[in-house]
């Protein structure tokens, strides 16, 4: 067997279709979230585990996970604990696109193939639809076509009247879309070997080998059926896309309070709330769902967690902290903060009084610089995006949409307007003048004020 | 009929005295509160509406409202919705004082006249006293004389032993007052036409034509009776005078919770509190009266509103915000703020963590610059005075007595020591240094701290 | 009788041993805590009162208080109100060490003597042990030897196998200690006059006259018995040593709520808590013991006081303030603050939003500069140490371990990294730019947000 290939010797009797999860790519637009997107936790489990379970529930039982040298161990740990499936592993050494990923897994690919991008989140109907189409209509391949309501910057599927693919148009300008069907990566190929042959034959220096292969298949007379889909679909390309996925999981989850959770009688739990094992909720805290709180986390006195918030394990939402519509990792510590519409990765902390501002003073949409371009996030409420292992000092202010790279430090009282790279430290140029104190106080005033306050 | 004059054709049978409200002036010392003072809302109604109702309850039913081109429409809207009174309107084109205002309304003035400054707040006994005096003692005119306990910088009434006016002394120095009676503008004139003749005859280039006319009447042998008054009187000349009027209305109002108000069982409502229609009070909020909250406003989790505070409609006193002895307009948004002894006009918002400081570090009285003079407000606790349409960023600090002009923006973390004009933007010169982060953390410490916190 | 000597004419029949409290020294390392350490209040009483009572309970009834001109009046006030003891007073004019203090009290010293440093806190067993030893074993002197578990920078007692003193080794390097017994100042001398003769005979220019006298006694054949002690011992040399003493008293005290205390039904009192006369606890406050709150103090709405905190009288822990493991004096005012692991002397106040940071961003131990040396406090959580009569403005940040001298002012929004002397004022160099406001708002957005918030 080729290096990097691990084939599961045990073979099940369920569907023979192999689901190939392409986990080997590296997201460049996710800064400062360093983790692979499919490794992000939702409801206490990595996204990949959710994805695999959904596919399994749709009847798939043979999986090929294509990972890279950095993530393959985690992928194995995650998928090996899912019952009832067989998983093979392939190692993609370079991040060179779909075709390269499939070539990495070549020895494992036989018969019918389902190629899946595990960074996009679908409902299980995406799988059942394409599997049903593959059973019903004979074709070389089947492509899921997401029916968009408004322009989306993706690849559009030009089809004939029988919904057969004619051509894939990459990112047409708005108004020039050939259809309302966006190409999303749940592709079914009836014959793996045939697909791989087309891939091998492509001559290009770009990273669209796979798409060229599909185009060449069409040109050679292969029928590629487009299966329309209008269920849930949320790609994670930029960090703020995490919000939609978080909302999706919070909408799906059943409310549940672990029996080991300790909740003060003076706390308020309202709406759909999940409190995991050993969570503690202190006096006068308010959790207004949909909200998920991971194991061992503490929601402190007077804290307010609300409006679609997702908090990892071992985190402390400390005294007098508000968390609103935010995704918080494991082992994060907050303390008298406002955290609104923000994403904070694992092991990060905020000093007392620090505010993650989420609304521009001109109330406009928040733009974020990616490479040389400003990308409109589409959000007029967006806080900070903070990588893992960051520490923010007391009374600091992070402006809407600011990103802080992992393992960085923001000093006390810094008002951070710009993104900060990974492993940086930013300190305010503290300027103050010391003089002699020439004021003096009327000693009676305090007593008077206290008497007034005591009523 | 002359331009600007609108006479009500329907005539009632009640008192024939015409109450003339002088609404045409323009306050120059009220910056940054742009609104005419009599248009400020108290208990959900403009001050003018309160004033007119009080006069109506004292038996007056004929009103002449003298407005200016900017406010006449609002004046009409307000007075036309008061039942049981007849109102005529006159337009004063220039802000040239009492005499000019009366001349503007000349065609409407017949018989007995009550000239009233609607920016001063009185109890209804002011009206009944002067009306009773006019019935009992025959005289050309009757002037309400406020019995001051200590020096007040106003016009003093020099009288004889029968309380008949000898002379009006404008702003005498302290100790040189001719009496303890201050001239306040509830003046009754038995013969409008005679008054207007005296006004016409005055030769002066100053704006004290009306006062000269009264002096001339006295000199010509007319009897002007001074009616002593020691009930409530609160002039609004400077913004902080709003506090006394606010306190007056809060003292008078009956506590009332609208049936449409939704109050958390965990909230505390104590003392005399008015909650208007659709108000929401969230968990652990405390409202300690006297307090008025306008329609649709929200008092958020853990918020504290106390000690004579008056909040307009559609405002949000957000999470963990304290409002103490403050006058807040409509549609204001606060969020984790301290708002003490402050005045905030409509449509203004404060970012999370922003503090309106209300106590000097030397604990002295707060002075405010008006023109070239420093005016002692008489308050040792005074916060900010913010015009309408302002937005203050997060973690900002406004120093005691600072005024922010309407439609201005104060940036995040600005520590504002000086007044800001209208339509300005102030941004902090953010200075910080970015270096490589050379610190590293002991990973076990967090776990240890969490265990300790969990107890 | 010599000047400065006041002998009590009434003599009791209890133990004839005289307990000499050395109160005349002046601590140089306690900056910014100006008060003599033994005058610091714990549980509503000065430490000296506690110390005297403990000695009295151990059977001592004759006391000699050696004070200095600044503190002798206070010492008299405190000790005179303790029942059942006789106290004489001596005045030590210069701060020249133990021998000098004893010489100041010479006329009062007769028979057996117990020399005590009242700035060290012991349990009563320290007294009973040394008294018992003095009764049981004949010797010239008896010295309490604290059995250390790890290196402590003090004087070590070199002893023979019968625990008789051979030599006192001042601050040996770690690893070079002659024993595990540290010399602590509860020394019993059978013959006062003899001791004073040895003191008189010492020839040295240093301040170790007393220690030389002991060494000379040993050399001359006097037996000095070392009495091992492993009970509670807490010296107060640096301000942060106050924490250990505070914890000791909080551990010893019985929980008690004064009947005059007024506690909201919505407040939470948990664990061992002492609320003194007239304390008020407002709605949603949480006090999680061990905590002591002095008379007339107010714990405001939503305040949290926890984890070994000690608050003096007439103080206000205002709205939304957290006090954690801190020692707070009388008449202090806090307001929406975080006060963690801090020491605040009497009459000091913090503006709203001010944070006393207690944890370094590199999570290391807090070091403090004393003279030219950095002293490791041994704490990784240490806040500010603030002298009496200080005022800190709003939204300021004090870095971990910062010390502020008495009667100083820290301006609003200052981020204080360095110590501040007494009677100083520090103001931030506020820099901001004012321009015209060129933004404009969508008026409908607020309404939309309000509707969304109202749900």
Q: What is the DSSP string of A305-322?
A: EESSEEE-TT-EE-TT-E
Residue B289 near residue B270, CB atoms below 8 Å: yes
Q: How many CB atoms lie within 10 A of CB C200?
A: 12
Residues 264-293 of C with CB under 8 A from A: 266, 268, 278, 280, 284, 286
Predicted pLDDT of residue B103: 95
* Closest Cβ–Cβ partner in B319, B409, B447 for A322: B319
Q: What is the DSSP letter of A135?
A: H
Cα(C61)–Cα(C222) distance, integer angstroms: 27
Residue B328: partners with Cβ closer than 8 Å, 6 or more residues away: B309, B310, B311, B312, B315, B317, B339, B342, B343, B344
First to last CA, chain B: 84
- In chain A, which residue's Cα lies nearest the Cα of B381? A449
For an interface test with B, give the residue of A357, A392, A407 to mutate (most B CBs within 10 A).
Answer: A357
pLDDT, one tens digit per residue, over A10-30 is 554 456 899 999 999 887 899
* Closest Cβ–Cβ partner in C319, C446, C453 for B298: C453
Taking each helix axis as running N to C, give the angle between helix A72-80 and helix A47-57, from 0 to 180 degrees, rounded to the nearest 10.
50
Q: Do B439 and C362 touch (CB under 8 A)?
A: yes
Residues 333-372 of A with CB under 8 A from B: 333, 338, 340, 347, 353, 355, 357, 359, 361
Predicted pLDDT of residue C140: 95
Q: What is the DSSP letter of B233?
A: E
Burial of C14 (0-12, 13-18, 19+ CB in 10 A): middle
For residue A430, pLDDT beyond 80? no
pTM, entire model: 0.94
Predicted pLDDT of residue B13: 44
Residue A259: partners with Cβ closer than 8 Å, 6 or more residues away: none
Report residue A408 as tokens.
């960085």
Q: Which residues of A touch B335 (CB under 8 A)?
A: 338
Cα(B369)–Cα(B374) distance, integer angstroms: 4
Predicted pLDDT of residue A34: 78
- B393 CB near a chain A CB, below 8 Å? yes
Counting as low any pLDDT under 50, the low residues of chain C are 12-13
pLDDT, one tens digit per residue, over A160-172 is 999 999 999 988 9
Cα(C408)–Cα(C387) distance, integer angstroms: 8
Instruction: Report the residue count for chain C.
Output: 455
Calculate the average pLDDT of chain B: 93
Predicted pLDDT of residue B1: 55
Distance from CA of B418 to the nearest CA of C (A): 11
Q: Do A395 and B353 touch (CB under 8 A)?
A: yes
pLDDT, one tens digit per residue, over B295-318 is 999 999 999 999 999 999 999 999
Q: Which residues of C touch B268 (CB under 8 A)?
A: 266, 283
Q: Tell which residue, A247, A226, A212, has the closest CA to residue A147.
A: A226
Distance from CA of B357 to the nearest CA of C (A): 7
Predicted pLDDT of residue B35: 78
Predicted pLDDT of residue B8: 64
Predicted pLDDT of residue C442: 75
- A439 CB near a chain B CB, below 8 Å? yes
Q: Tell which residue, C290, C348, C289, C341, has the closest CA to residue C317.
A: C348
H helix runs in A70-187, sequence order: 72-80, 98-104, 125-136
Q: Do A434 and C411 touch (CB under 8 A)?
A: no
Predicted pLDDT of residue B12: 44
* Closest Cβ–Cβ partner in B335, B431, B439 for A409: B439
Q: What is the DSSP letter of B89?
A: E
Distance from CA of A342 to the nearest CA of B (A): 15
pLDDT, one tens digit per residue, over C313-345 is 999 999 999 999 999 999 999 999 999 999 999
- In chain C, which residue's Cα lies nearest the Cα of A395? C397
Secondary structure percentages of chain B, helix, strand, coil, to 5: 20, 30, 50
Q: Which residues of C touch B427 (CB under 8 A)?
A: 432-433, 435
Q: What is the DSSP letter of B311?
A: E
Q: Do C352 and B357 touch (CB under 8 A)?
A: yes
The angle formed by the CA atoms of residues A437, A440 and A442, to the nearest 5 degrees, is 160
Taking each helix axis as running N to C, give the angle between helix C72-80 and helix C47-57, from 0 to 180 degrees, rounded to the nearest 10.
50
For residue A425, pLDDT beyond 60? yes
- A399 CB near a chain B CB, below 8 Å? yes
Bigger pLDDT: A156 or B429?
A156
- In chain B, which residue's Cα lies nearest the Cα of C414? B415
Predicted pLDDT of residue A1: 55
Counting as low any pLDDT under 70, the low residues of chain B are 1-2, 8-15
* Closest Cβ–Cβ partner in B296, B298, B397 for C394: B397
Residue C415 near residue A428, CB atoms below 8 Å: yes
Report residue C243 as tokens.
């924490």
| Residue A444 pLDDT class (50, 70, 90 cuts) | confident
Predicted pLDDT of residue C13: 44
Predicted pLDDT of residue C322: 98
- In chain B, which residue's Cα lies nearest the Cα of A395? B395
């Amino acid at each position: 067997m080729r290096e990097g290939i691990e084939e599961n010797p045990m073979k099940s009797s369920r569907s023979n279709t192999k689901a190939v999860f392409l986990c080997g790519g590296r997201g460049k637009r996710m800064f400062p979230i360093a983790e692979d997107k499919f490794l992000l936790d939702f409801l206490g489990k990595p996204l990949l585990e959710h994805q695999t379970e959904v596919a399994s529930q749709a009847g798939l039982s043979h999986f090929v996970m294509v990972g890279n040298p950095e993530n393959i161990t985690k992928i194995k740990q995650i998928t090996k604990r899912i019952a009832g499936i067989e998983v093979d592993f392939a190692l993609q050494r370079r991040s060179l696109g779909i075709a390269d990923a499939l070539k990495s897994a070549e020895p494992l690919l036989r018969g019918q193939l389902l190629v899946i991008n595990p960074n996009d989140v679908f409902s299980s109907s995406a799988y059942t639809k394409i599997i049903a189409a593959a059973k019903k209509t004979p074709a070389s391949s089947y492509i899921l076509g997401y029916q968009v309501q408004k322009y989306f910057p993706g690849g559009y599927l030009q089809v004939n009247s029988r919904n057969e693919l004619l051509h894939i148009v990459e990112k047409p300008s708005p108004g020039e879309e050939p259809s309302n069907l966006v190409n999303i990566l749940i592709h079914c190929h009836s014959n793996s070997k045939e697909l791989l042959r087309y891939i091998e034959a492509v001559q290009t220096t770009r990273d669209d080998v796979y798409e060229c292969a599909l185009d060449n298949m069409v040109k050679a007379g292969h029928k590629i059926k487009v299966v329309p889909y209008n269920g849930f679909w949320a790609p994670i390309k930029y960090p703020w896309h995490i919000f939609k996925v978080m909302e999706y999981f919070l909408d799906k989850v059943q409310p549940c309070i672990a029996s080991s959770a300790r909740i003060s009688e003076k706390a308020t739990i309202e709406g759909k709330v999940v409190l995991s094992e050993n969570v503690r909720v202190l006096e006068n805290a308010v959790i207004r769902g949909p909200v998920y709180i991971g194991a061992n986390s503490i929601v402190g006195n007077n804290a307010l967690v609300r409006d679609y918030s997702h908090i990892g394990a071992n985190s402390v939402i400390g005294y007098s902290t508000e968390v609103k519509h935010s995704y918080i990792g494991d082992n994060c510590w907050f303390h008298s903060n406002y955290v609104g519409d923000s994403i904070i990765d694992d092991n990060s902390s905020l000093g007392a009084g620090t505010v993650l501002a989420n609304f521009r003073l001109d109330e406009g949409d928040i733009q974020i610089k990616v490479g040389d371009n400003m990308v409109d996030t589409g959000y007029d409420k967006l806080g900070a995006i903070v990588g893992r292992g960051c520490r923010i000092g007391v009374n600091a202010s992070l402006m809407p949409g600011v990103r802080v790279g992992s393992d960085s430090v923001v000093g006390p009282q810094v008002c951070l307007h710009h993104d900060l790279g990974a492993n940086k430290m930013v300190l305010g140029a503290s300027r103050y003048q010391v003089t002699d104190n020439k004021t003096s106080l009327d000693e009676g005033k305090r007593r008077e004020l206290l008497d007034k306050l005591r009523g």
